[in-house]
């Protein structure tokens, strides 16, 4: 059965047995292996290898899908997004619509990073209805985005969960250090004379208290820190909260848009995993208008460090630097267009015109392999799901995508046009671009 024909088949989750063969399976395992086939049963991967070796596992009733050379990747893992909690306000979508947007872009696992008591109840109801497909980790608000306390330690009544395969879990708590969505990023050097130093909402002591409490409850602490002054305070706070203990709960700092060289070694010293933007984070203060290509003025201090993912990867090889989309605030919801931006540092404006990167921006480029690792294995680690998802290996959950081109083979500029044609979670096809679509009845997943 070919892929298109398979799209019209049954889509029930659970005990199904499927073999995808005659394809290009990019496993994203340690050796960056490329296989021809993958066998799936009971929501998990049984074997990855040559078509001949994998077809040996086919039993009566196994669905056989000929990929006809198409490319398969692990499902994309977005460690920090707001595609659920801000869907209605910013995307005009309900939860099902927001989930559909994630699935059509290959996102199979995500962390939702602004969960209030009201939204927690909404997500619990969505999961109880059986409609939740994306593996979702919820991070409960410790403070609002303006830094004010929100309902004290309400989150302590919701302990973290880390059951293998669960669709909805409590991952941890969210702390805002500086502006970005409320106020401006906290910086140590003014962008221009008289512009000020931004808004530092919380102190290192505040973070230390949150981390110390989270150490007792088992919650992971995720800290929003964009500017270098906020990053330093977050680092200090995590270190104080740990009191010399190893960072086993993986308290982390997200965004890290402006990290001077002096702060980079501290991630490793404290054991903090940085999670960074895919799209080049040109801060609003540096741009004449949202559609502009270049800052209004030169600031060599920030040019050296703004969004320098290259520097983080080179100096922190053991910390699994991860990616986040932070959608819908950054957008578009398109991991492969974010990969394009990380690899080229070219910005495409809303009108389709291209912003040619400056020399200092080109120095921050990374490779396709580095970008995909950040978007799969490393982001899975940030969510405590590295043993479940992020690579296609025996024993892991069968979360995978079929794409229109091999990212390792196309020209960097063509990464922009890579699309997802099928998304599978736990052996169940949950999105199909074609009609009918991969293993989906009538071309639509349930």
- CATH number, domain of 129, equals 3.20.20.140
Q: Does 127 lie in the same domain as 15? A: no
Q: Does 33 lie in the same domain as 150? A: no
- Single residue among 363, 382, 401 that ends a domain in this structure: 382
- Single residue among 331, 360, 382 that ends a domain in this structure: 382
Q: Does 289 lie in the same domain as 412? A: no
Q: Does 439 lie in the same domain as 321? A: no
Q: Does 346 lie in the same domain as 239? A: yes
E strand or H helix at 236:
helix 228-242
E strand or H helix at 320:
none
pLDDT band with cut points at 50, 70 and 90 for residue 437: very low
Q: State pTM to two decimals.
A: 0.94
Cα 38 to the center of its chain, rounded Å = 24
Contact between residue 202 and residue 176 where contact means Cβ atoms under 8 Å apart: yes
Q: Does 221 lie in the same domain as 365? A: yes
- Higher pLDDT among residues 184 and 289, named by residue: 184
- CATH number, domain of 38, equals 2.30.40.10
Confidence (pLDDT) at 430: 96
Q: Does 253 lie in the same domain as 374? A: yes
Least confident of 92-101, 132-141, 284-293: 284-293
Is pLDDT of 3 > 50? Answer: yes
Q: Does 129 lie in the same domain as 108? A: yes
> What does the alpha-carbon distance between residue 39 and residue 46 come to, in Å, rounded to a whole number?
5
Is pLDDT of 362 > 80? Answer: yes
Is pLDDT of 219 > 70? Answer: yes
Torsion of CA 133, 167, 419, 89, to 10 degrees: 80
Q: Does 422 lie in the same domain as 277? A: no
User: 166-194 burial string, b = 16+ CB within 10 Å, else e?
Assistant: ebbbbbbbbbbbbbbeebbbbbeeebeee
Confidence (pLDDT) at 260: 94
pLDDT band with cut points at 50, 70 and 90 for residue 443: very low
Render pLDDT for 228-281 as a digit per residue (tens, 0 to 9).
999 999 999 999 999 999 999 999 999 999 999 999 999 999 999 999 999 877
pLDDT band with cut points at 50, 70 and 90 for residue 389: very high
> What does the alpha-carbon distance between residue 351 and residue 26 come to, in Å, rounded to a whole number?
34
Is pLDDT of 112 > 80? Answer: yes
Structural domain total, the chain? 2
Q: Does 162 lie in the same domain as 13? A: no
- Single residue among 346, 362, 382 that ends a domain in this structure: 382
List for the chain the helix, strand, coil content (%; round to 5): 30, 25, 45
Is pLDDT of 15 > 70? Answer: no
Is pLDDT of 288 > 80? Answer: no
* 401 dihedral zone (left: phi>0; alpha: psi -120 to 50; beta): beta
* Structural domain containing residue 313: 76-382
Q: Does 403 lie in the same domain as 358? A: no
Q: Does 97 lie in the same domain as 145? A: yes
């Amino acid at each position: 059965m070919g892929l298109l024909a398979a799209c019209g088949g049954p889509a029930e989750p659970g005990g199904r047995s499927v073999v995808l063969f005659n394809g290009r399976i990019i496993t994203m395992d340690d050796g960056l292996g490329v296989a021809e086939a993958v066998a799936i049963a009971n929501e998990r991967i049984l074997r990855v290898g040559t078509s001949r070796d994998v077809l040996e596992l086919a039993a009566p009733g196994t669905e056989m899908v000929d990929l006809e050379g198409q490319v398969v990747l692990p499902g994309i893992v977005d460690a920090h997004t707001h595609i659920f909690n801000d869907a209605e306000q910013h995307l005009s979508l309900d939860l099902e619509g927001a989930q559909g947007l994630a699935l059509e872009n290959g996102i199979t696992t995500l962390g939702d990073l602004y969960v209030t008591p009201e939204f927690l109840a909404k997500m619990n109801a969505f999961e109880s209805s059986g409609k939740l497909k994306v593996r979702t980790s919820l991070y409960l608000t410790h403070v609002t985005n303006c830094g004010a306390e929100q309902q004290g330690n309400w989150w302590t009544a919701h302990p973290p969960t880390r059951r293998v395969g669960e669709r909805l879990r409590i991952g941890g708590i969210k702390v805002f250090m500086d502006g970005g969505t409320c106020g401006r990023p906290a910086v140590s050097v003014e962008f221009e004379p008289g512009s000020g130093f931004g808004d530092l909402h919380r102190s290192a002591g505040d973070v230390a208290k949150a981390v110390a409490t989270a150490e007792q409850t088992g919650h992971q602490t995720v800290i929003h820190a964009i500017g270098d002054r906020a990053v330093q305070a977050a680092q200090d706070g995590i270190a104080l909260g740990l009191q010399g203990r190893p960072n086993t709960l993986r308290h982390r700092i997200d965004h890290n848009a402006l990290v001077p060289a002096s702060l980079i070694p501290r991630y490793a010293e404290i054991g903090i995993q940085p999670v960074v933007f895919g799209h080049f984070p040109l801060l609003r203060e540096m741009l004449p208008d949202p559609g502009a290509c270049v800052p209004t003025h030169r600031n060599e201090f920030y040019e050296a460090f703004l969004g320098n993912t290259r520097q983080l990867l080179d100096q922190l090889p053991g910390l699994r630097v991860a990616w986040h989309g932070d959608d819908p605030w950054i957008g578009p919801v398109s991991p492969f267009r974010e990969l394009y931006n990380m690899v080229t540092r070219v910005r495409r404006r809303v009108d389709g015109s291209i912003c040619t990167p400056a020399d200092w921006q080109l120095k921050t480029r990374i490779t396709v392999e580095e970008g995909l690792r950040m978007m799969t294995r490393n982001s899975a680690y940030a969510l405590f799901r590295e043993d479940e998802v992020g690579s296609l290996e025996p024993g892991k959950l069968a979360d995978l995508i079929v794409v229109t081109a091999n990212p390792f083979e196309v020209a960097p500029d063509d990464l922009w046009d890579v699309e997802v044609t099928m998304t599978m979670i736990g052996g169940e096809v949950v999105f199909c671009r074609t009609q009918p679509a991969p293993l989906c009845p009538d071309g639509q997943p349930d």
